[in-house]
A and B are shown apart, each in its own frame.
Chain A
Amino acid sequence: MVTREDVENIALLSKLFVPEEELDSLTQSMQEIIDFADEINKAPSSDEAFDNINNLSNVFREDEVVESYNSEEILKNAPEQAENHFLVRNRE
């Protein structure tokens, strides 16, 4: 059972603000999502069968250096930047 407290907690962990009046409807939506996902538990199978549906294991890279991106490229999508760093503003 998803409770209002669960939704509040998830919002907190995700750093999201949820207005009081939306809590009930969100709790209900969340319950529907969980119920939908729970369908999979009805499938007659062990945990292992879903573990690795492509039958893949040991997909490795060799330890060889590949050129990195330059910092302009890396910072291109940063909301804010300063001195070649991502900048995170203190909002408190």
Chain B
Amino acid sequence: MKYELVAGFETHIELATKTKIFCGCTTQFGGEPNTHCCPVCIGLPGTLPKLNRQVVRYGIMAGLATHGEIAEISKMDRKNYCYPDLSKAYQISQLYAPLTIGGYVELSSGKKIRLHHIHIEEDAGKLIHQHGDTYVDYNRGGVPLIEIVSEPDIRSIDEAREYVEKLQQVMRYIGISDCKMQEGSMRCDVNISVRPAGSEKLGTRTEIKNMNSINNICKAMEYEFERQVDLIESGGQVVQETLRYDDATNTTSSMRSKEDAHDYRYFRDPDLVTIHVTKDEVEEIKASLPELPTEKCKRYVDELSIPEKDAQLLTKYRNISEYFDKACKGVKSPKTVSNFIIGQIFSRVETESDKEIFDVAVSPEQLNELVKLLDSGKIRNNLAKATLEKMLDSGKGALEFISESDMGGLDENAMLELCRQAVESNAKAVEDYKNGKEKAIKALVGFVMKNSRGKADAAAAEAKIKDLIG
């Protein structure tokens, strides 16, 4: 029997605020243990948490960027559980009235992965288990998170990968998180089940935690899919449980025993008042958002005639797309700008993290100037390419390398003269061409291009040479 995978994601993202969600302690990553703490974030009795305004703003931004509806009224709840990573024995979160509702993430196929909601909450402390005991550092306790909860709309590992990449991309675009999985500023829990292909009924799901890269998420899902299918095929039943992924062995194993079954006894946190968001505030935040990557990509394809694949590369990181937008201002052919970026510039910005920063020696304005010279026919493509290399080496503008005499096309006579010279000094190529070797003409055109310092029009030169030896 063929089985179908069904998965939904719970994605935690650490917000890029300066301070924690309920107190003024810094959110800086790392630091000596228990030095980014105060009575509020270690939960001492008698303290009063006060919500960070920026957390609400970032949460709304996340909701708008994923096409969700912003709740006019939302509230904070207590999620009770007893574990050393929470000093208060409860986490302040949202259950009954989350900040944003619904929305979706659109995959490149056009399929929409629906979101259930996004809520804001505090992160827990860090536990280090050693010598059988637990060492607790509360620096991370109280760092603001959003949790993005999807519907079980994901049907394949590829869709899962793209969903996470798209979320990461959009959250980075709007600048609310750096979304680094390795550092834990983006963490995914995956709910996964299987069912016979074509069936509408959902199977029993398991939840996988503890994956710190997109590759690990995919590997864990592959493993868990196989495990569940094998279990069902051999007459067994999937048990609803939480699993831990171990990347060293590429397996999943049970995390919680049954008697610890979830019973969080959520209730409204009496320390925190209602969050009321007006329509005007939502409109103001919406207007402040940058153009989002999916829309940008569509615009590049539809309006600028950039091939889809290239448009995806240009929009992968916000800095690249902003560079491209600036370099395109007023040019006739955005495709030329795109080719320069994806070709020559990318070859100098190789790693993903460098691409994300996109610190290039040539400014977008300088590239714009070069492309305009090309647009106006003042210089030819090869000269532009060679010039861009020099610009990338030096950080200087195009006009530093292109003299007046390089500009403007060749006049008719000079062109004819060069073509004659080409024919005279390349007897072998002429003969090859006459003997039917079409490609030999390229050597002759190359001669003209070289000796005109790239000013000649290659197609015109080829036609003229054919006339001469024809």
Contact = CB atoms under 8 A, between A and B. Distances in A.
Interface in B131-170: 132-138
Nearest to B58: A63
Would you call the interface of chain B mostly helix, strand, loop, or mixed? loop
B76 to A, nearest CB: 11
B19 to A, nearest CB: 5
Nearest to B21: A61
A88 B136 contact: yes
Given A69-B39, A85-B136, A87-B134, A63 B34 contact: no
Interface stretch (B24-32, B318-326, B352-360, B403-411): B24-32
Nearest to B56: A60
Contacts of B37: 68-69, 71, 74
A15 B53 CA distance: 35
Contacts of A65: 18-19, 24-26
A14 B82 contact: yes
Interface stretch (B109-117, B268-276, B377-385, B445-453): B268-276
A27 B36 CA distance: 42
A13 B19 contact: no
B363 interface: no
Contacts of B133: 87-90
Interface residues of B, number: 46
* Interface magnitude class on chain A: 35 or more
A88 B34 CA distance: 15
A60 B53 contact: yes
Contacts of A13: 80-82, 263, 265
Say what secondary structure dominates the interface of chain A.
loop
A92 B265 CA distance: 26
Nearest to B39: A69
Contact of A71 (B34, B80, B135, B265): B34
B387 interface: no
A85 B38 CA distance: 14
B175 interface: no
Interface in B1-26: 17-19, 22-26
A90 B134 contact: yes
Contacts of A86: 34, 84, 87, 135-136, 138
B34 A59 contact: no
A69 B38 contact: yes
A88 B128 CA distance: 10
A56 to B, nearest CB: 4
B42 interface: yes
Nearest to B50: A61
A83 B32 contact: no
Contacts of B84: 86, 88
Contacts of B80: 13
Contacts of B35: 68, 70-71, 74, 84
A22 interface: no
A83 B135 contact: yes
B34 A61 contact: no
Contacts of A74: 34-35, 37-38, 42, 138
Nearest to B49: A61
Nearest to B89: A14
Contact of A68 (B36, B52, B128): B36
Given A71-B32, A88-B136, A90-B134, A52 B273 contact: yes
Contacts of A14: 82
A20 interface: no
A11 to B, nearest CB: 11
Q: What are the 10 closest A-B residue pairs judged by CB atoms, nearest first?
A: A66-B24, A85-B135, A60-B53, A63-B54, A86-B136, A88-B134, A57-B274, A71-B34, A57-B276, A56-B273
15 contacts: A13-B82, A52-B274, A57-B273, A58-B276, A59-B51, A60-B50, A60-B52, A63-B17, A66-B38, A68-B38, A84-B32, A84-B33, A84-B34, A85-B136, A88-B84
Given A63-B52, A68-B25, 9 more contacts: A51-B268, A57-B275, A63-B19, A66-B19, A68-B38, A74-B38, A74-B138, A85-B34, A88-B135
